[in-house]
C-alpha cells in the first residue's frame, strides 16, 4: 500500500481539505493532488496491493526444497547430476538436471567430471570425481603426450578437410572474435567439436571436457586430469591422429 497517497486522499475526502491544504500536509503540489483525486475516482489508482494468487510465493521452489536432502545424499555417494536426476525420477520424485545442479551449487559441491585424479578433488565426499576445472589455454604441442585414452578420436578425421578449407583464413575473413587467451579458430573448433559429436552444449558438454581428442582438435589444453599419465598403468589408446581409439566414436561427416 502507498501510505502517503492513502493519507492524502483520506484527508481530502474525510476532512474536507482543499487540494492545496491536503497537498501541503503530505508533500504534494495542488496539481498532484488534483491528479490523485481524478485517478482515484476513475478507478485508475491502486492504493492497496492485489491479493496474491494461490500457490507458493514468487521465487519459491517446493520441488527443489523437498528433494534437497536426497540430492545431497546421492551426491555423497558419488553420483553426477545426470545420475541423480535419473534416480529421483525412478523414485517418483522427478527433478530435472538443471535443478539438481542448482542445489549442488548452493550446497557448495564442485562439478562432477569423468576420471579426474583423486588428488584433484575439491570435496572429500566425492574423491577422485569432484573437481574444479582449470582455465583453458592454447595447447602446447611440445608437452603433449604421445599416447592418451580417448573416446573421441573420430574428431581428428575431420582435420584434413579443415586444412584443405584453410579454416584459419576463413575465420579471419569472417571477423570472428578471439581473446588474448583463446584464439578465434580454437573457439570455433570447440563449437564444431560439439556439433560433430552431436553433443548438446547445455546438458552434456562435460562429456567432452575430459577428452584429450577434443582438446587436440580445438588446439586447447584445459589441463584435463585424464591427460596426466598414471605411472602405474600403461598409456594405451590414443589422442593423437596416427593411432586408434579404444572406443568407437560417433560417425563424422565433414562438409
DSSP string, 147-202: ----S-GGGGGGHHHHHHTTHHHHHHHHT----SSS-HHHHHHHHHHHHHTT--TT
Question: Residue 8: inside a domain, yes or no?
Answer: yes
Q: How many domains does the chain have?
A: 3
Q: Looking at per-residue confidence, does 57 or 217 come out higher?
A: 217
Q: Looking at per-residue confidence, does 118 or 232 come out higher?
A: 118
Question: Residue 56: inside a domain, yes or no?
Answer: no
Residues 147 and 221 grouped into a single domain: yes
Q: What does the block give as the cell for 133?
A: 576445472
Question: Residue 221: inside a domain, yes or no?
Answer: yes
Q: What is the pLDDT of residue 242?
A: 34
Question: Residue 99: inside a domain, yes or no?
Answer: yes
pLDDT tens digits along 91-137: 988 898 888 988 988 888 877 655 445 555 555 555 555 556 667 78
Last residue of a domain, one of 111, 131, 151: 131
Question: Residue 28: inside a domain, yes or no?
Answer: yes
pTM passes above 0.75: no
Q: What is the pLDDT of residue 197?
A: 85
Q: CA 248 to CA 28: how far, in whole Å?
A: 77
For residue 136, the 8-state DSSP code is P
Question: Residue 147: inside a domain, yes or no?
Answer: yes
Residues 148 and 127 grouped into a single domain: no
User: What burial class does residue 10 get, using C-beta atoms within 10 Å of its C-beta: 0-12 exposed, 13-18 middle, 19+ buried?
Assistant: middle
pLDDT tens digits along 196-206: 888 765 555 66
- Domain containing 103 equals 62-131
pLDDT of 226 strictly over 60: no
pLDDT of 241 strictly over 70: no
In 56-182, at which residue ranges do the beta strands (DSSP E only) sit? 111-112, 130-131
Amino acid at each position: 500500500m502507498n501510505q502517503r497517497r492513502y493519507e492524502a486522499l483520506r484527508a481530502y475526502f474525510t476532512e474536507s481539505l482543499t487540494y492545496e491544504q491536503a497537498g501541503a500536509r503530505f508533500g504534494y503540489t495542488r496539481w498532484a493532488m488534483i491528479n490523485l483525486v481524478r485517478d482515484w475516482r476513475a478507478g485508475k489508482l491502486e492504493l492497496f496491493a492485489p491479493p496474491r494468487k494461490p500457490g507458493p510465493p514468487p521465487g519459491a521452489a517446493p520441488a527443489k526444497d523437498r528433494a534437497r536432502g536426497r540430492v545431497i545424499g546421492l551426491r555423497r555417494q558419488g553420483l553426477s547430476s545426470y545420475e541423480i536426476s535419473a534416480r529421483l525420477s525412478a523414485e517418483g520424485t522427478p527433478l530435472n538436471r538443471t535443478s539438481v545442479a542448482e542445489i549442488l551449487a548452493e550446497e557448495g559441491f564442485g562439478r562432477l567430471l569423468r576420471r579426474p585424479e583423486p588428488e584433484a578433488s575439491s570435496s572429500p565426499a566425492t574423491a577422485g570425481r569432484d573437481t574444479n576445472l582449470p582455465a583453458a589455454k592454447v595447447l602446447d604441442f611440445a608437452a603433449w603426450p604421445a599416447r592418451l585414452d580417448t573416446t573421441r578420436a573420430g574428431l581428428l578425421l575431420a582435420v584434413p578437410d579443415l586444412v584443405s578449407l584453410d579454416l584459419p583464413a576463413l575465420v579471419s575473413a569472417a571477423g570472428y572474435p578471439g581473446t588474448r587467451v583463446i584464439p578465434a579458430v580454437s573457439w570455433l573448433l570447440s563449437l564444431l567439436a560439439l556439433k560433430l559429436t552431436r553433443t548438446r552444449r547445455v546438458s552434456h558438454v562435460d562429456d567432452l571436457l575430459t577428452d584429450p581428442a577434443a582438446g587436440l582438435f580445438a588446439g586447447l589444453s584445459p589441463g584435463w586430469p585424464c591427460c596426466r599419465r598414471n605411472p602405474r598403468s600403461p598409456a594405451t589408446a590414443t589422442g593423437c591422429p596416427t593411432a586408434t581409439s579404444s572406443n568407437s566414436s560417433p560417425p563424422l561427416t565433414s562438409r
